[in-house]
């Protein structure tokens, strides 16, 4: 079962990334702060909706309240293989690398996208750190050549240099915007940019 709304998907993705990074669940306050929402009740509604759809399990223990994202380990398609095709810059663009190998990925991270439409890239740099996309992470990318404003994309610049950024279009210019307050957006003519895919999920290799 999939999230009913885009915001529910974003909340689920954030919880998944937070768990991978910190080893524990985020609080309602942390989720609200991440999305710029003032009311924790709004977050509670999203959590409740995700729970009803079987995507989140709330655990109540004495003195403890937590969230768990079920992996449905008994499902036959709980794990699938996708291509790891190299690395992607979350910083200054770097030359695209195409060393291909196969890696195992929890199936729920892909949503309704077929595994054969997904490829993985190892992240280099910290320009997307505010999205909790860190150096060394593995980004899961849906192979597509179109994107909506604000989506995180793999952008190929001048047919050679690849980078992971949020995409915004302004007339015949494209802005590739980092999620790092210390860095400036990259603005280039639209003719110099090719969309190679849309960010769909994240994996953090064990330290």
pLDDT given for residue 20 in this prediction: 62
Average pLDDT over residues 116-131: 89
Choice between 205 and 153, residue whose per-residue pLDDT is larger: 153
Q: Taking the C-alpha atoms of 193, 198, 199 and 200 in order, what is their torsion angle to the nearest 10 degrees? A: 180
Task: Report the alpha-carbon distance of residue 129 to residue 127 in Å, rounded.
Answer: 6
pLDDT tens-digit profile of 40-80? 888 888 888 888 777 776 655 444 455 556 544 434 446 78
Statement: residue 207 has pLDDT above 60: no
Confidence of residue 107 (pLDDT cuts 50, 70, 90): confident
pLDDT tens-digit profile of 28-50? 888 888 888 888 888 888 888 88
pLDDT given for residue 75 in this prediction: 47
Statement: residue 144 has pLDDT above 80: yes
pLDDT given for residue 99 in this prediction: 57
Statement: residue 120 has pLDDT above 50: yes
Q: Which domains does the chain have, with CATH numbers?
A: 6-68 (1.10.10.10), 79-203 (2.10.109.10)
Confidence of residue 15 (pLDDT cuts 50, 70, 90): confident
The closest alpha carbon to 165, from 157, 59, 75, belongs to 157
pLDDT given for residue 167 in this prediction: 94
What residues are labeled active site? 127, 165
DSSP secondary structure string, 120-150? EEEEESSTTGGGT--TT-EEEEE--S---TT
pLDDT given for residue 206 in this prediction: 60
Task: Report the alpha-carbon distance of residue 131 to residue 136 in Å, rounded.
Answer: 14
Q: How far apart are the first and last CA of the chain?
A: 31
Strand ranges (E), the chain: 57-61, 64-68, 79-89, 94-95, 101-106, 118-124, 138-142, 152-157, 161-170, 173-177, 186-189, 193-203
Statement: residue 188 has pLDDT above 80: yes
Where do runs of H (alpha helix) occur along 53-144?
none
């Amino acid at each position: 079962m999939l999230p009913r709304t885009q915001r529910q998907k974003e909340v689920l993705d954030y919880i998944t990334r937070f768990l991978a990074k910190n080893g524990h669940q985020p609080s309602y306050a942390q989720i609200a702060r991440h999305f710029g929402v003032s009311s924790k009740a709004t977050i509670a509604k999203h959590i409740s909706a995700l729970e009803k759809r079987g995507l989140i399990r709330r655990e109540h223990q004495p003195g403890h309240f937590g969230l768990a994202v079920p992996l449905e380990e008994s499902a036959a398609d709980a794990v699938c293989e996708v291509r790891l095709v190299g690395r992607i810059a979350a910083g200054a663009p770097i030359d695209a690398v195409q060393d291909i190998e196969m890696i195992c990925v929890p199936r729920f991270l892909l949503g309704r996208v077929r595994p054969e439409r997904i490829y993985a890239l190892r992240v280099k740099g910290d320009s997307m750190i505010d999205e909790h996309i860190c150096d060394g992470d593995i980004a899961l990318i849906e192979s597509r050549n179109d994107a909506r404003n604000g989506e995180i994309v793999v952008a190929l610049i001048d047919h050679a240099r690849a980078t992971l950024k949020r995409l915004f279009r302004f007339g015949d210019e494209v802005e590739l915007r980092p999620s790092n307050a210390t860095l400036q957006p990259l603005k280039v003519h639209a003719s110099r940019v090719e969309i190679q895919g849309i960010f769909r999920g994240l994996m953090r290799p064990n330290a």
